[in-house]
Amino acid sequence: MTTPTASPVPSSNPVDLLFNAEKLDEIVNSQGLTYADRFGQTRTTASGAVYSIKSITPRGAWSASTNYDSKDVVQVAGTWYIAVESHFSGSTFASDQAKWRVYQGVVAGDLASPTGASGVGSQQSGGGTVARTVQQKLDDFKSVSDYSSLANAAKAGAVYVPAGATAIPSGTPATAYSTSWIFDSYRAVPVYLAEAGETAQFSRRTQYDRMPGPHVGIMNQASALIARPVGSGTNGPTSADYGMTISMIKEGWPSSTVAGEIDGLNIVVRNSSSTGGGYNGDCAGILANVGVTGNGYAAVLESQCSVLSNTGAILHQIAAQQSVVDPVAGNYLGYYCTPSVGDGTAAFYAAASNSNSWEYLFRGDTSQGVPGRQAFNITGTGQAEFFDILGGGSRRTVRNNAGVLSVLNNARTVETLTLNDAGTLSVTGSMNTGAGGNYAIGNVQVVRAREVGYAAMTGTADKGSVFNQSTVTLQQLAARVKSLQDSLMLHGLIGV
């Protein structure tokens, strides 16, 4: 017999190979029950294995209070067990089960059959659970790999598509899409953004649904998240309950310098409808319905946008809120924003492109019982339009034309008031001050309210005669005074 080496397994030493060949011959052809391996361990030969099988002792159904020897075989509930040690049985098989091993019952062929999982039990840990089979547990989750065709898989409801599985072909009949397909692999997804040049979009995990109709009176949703929080017990965002959180933070932030846009949420909506007959195909990127009772504060959107240092410190920040209701302060706002860190450039900025412009940069309507009634507008060219607060429809427009600030009439054809860069104010028509108002030049009064109590003079006025003050007659002076009084009364500076 060849003497082997002590090299660890596996050994490629020729001496060990020769030793193993001799031992294989001993295992197969020897009548001995055991043999010694390369390390001196005792192992069973083929003859020994046959002897071991033949040496079992069938004992029939298991019985309590019975002496059992090693290799005795008993039957319990249709399954055969072999004793692994001699013992005296207790009152129940369960109490002695550590002394037995399954000998005949569920075999590999049974488990490999289509109904194999039905013979294996399963029960969740914890209280209040129920016993089920593994097959029932597997039925909770369905994969496209479980079906012979996409059409058959489509009848199952929600179907999981594992990585590497064939994607749904574009030519598959519509009936094959009346289910929820859940793709768990990196693949292209159809988001219909060709007009934006974004035709290649990929998703790590995708739920693909076809939503059949009609469903009048029912809001059909591809996916829904419903939560009923009890409340944290204290107000504020640090103790809030959130329906969902999206966290998109670049690897290595804030020190990473790798270029690339990152967005938290990408929403694409397209709708089509027939023309005429009013609205019949609405769509929106987000529909929000927010409500609060009591002294709560609510907004459809609360946002903060910041510039941060490479250590994460906030350098500049703008905070904004939309559709705000604040019953405590009595504020009900369509939009609110503030530069919370650093100064802001503009609270609102409306820009035109090189080829397209706005008809109005701002338009404010007030219904007052008449929907669509305009109150105040700023046009796309920067003109401010003010409308009759009583709803008469008249309009006054303020504009800056070549450095001259002007107010136009309702038809916007006449500049009724202008103020140029030199400070000259011009008025077309009359100009009034309020009661007690004065006209002044350099803060020196030049005209005030009309002086009354003057009686009209009779006779002939004279403002055209030329005379010398040293030879003027009383009659000439009286005619000149009448002319002056007539002019002052005509201008309205004095009156009866």
Question: 76-109 in b/e burial notation, b at 16+ Cβ within 10 A?
Answer: eeeebbbbeeebebeeebeebeebbeebeeeeee
DSSP 118: G
Domain boundaries, the chain: 14-53, 56-105, 131-168+175-209, 297-349, 353-431, 449-495
Residue of 207, 215, 201, 150 lying closest to 180 (CA atoms): 207
pLDDT at 105: 57
**Coil, strand or helix at 154:** helix
Those residues of the chain that have pLDDT short of 50 are 169-177
396: which 2 tokens?
A: 């006054």
Q: Is 144 exposed, middle or buried (0-12, 13-18, 19+ CB in 10 A)?
A: buried
Rounded distance between C-alpha atoms, residue 215 and residue 178, angstroms:
14
Q: How far is CA 360 from CA 141, 217, 337, 496, in A?
A: 55, 38, 21, 52
Strand pairing partners for 385? 377, 397
Report which DSSP code applies to 430.
-
Contacts of 14 (CB under 8 A, 6+ apart): none
pLDDT score recorded for residue 479? 94
pLDDT of residue 174: 46
Question: d(Cα 233, Cα 240) in Å, to the nearest integer?
Answer: 9
CA atoms within 13 A on the CB side of 163: 6
The third-level CATH classification (topology) of the domain covering 56-105 is Seminal Fluid Protein  PDC-109 (Domain B) (2.10.10)
Please tell me the predicted confidence (pLDDT) of residue 364.
87
What pLDDT was estimated at residue 176? Answer: 46
d(CA 480, CA 107): 138
Encoded tokens for 158? 């929600």
Which tens digits make up the pLDDT trace of 225-266?
999 999 999 999 999 999 999 999 999 988 889 999 999 998
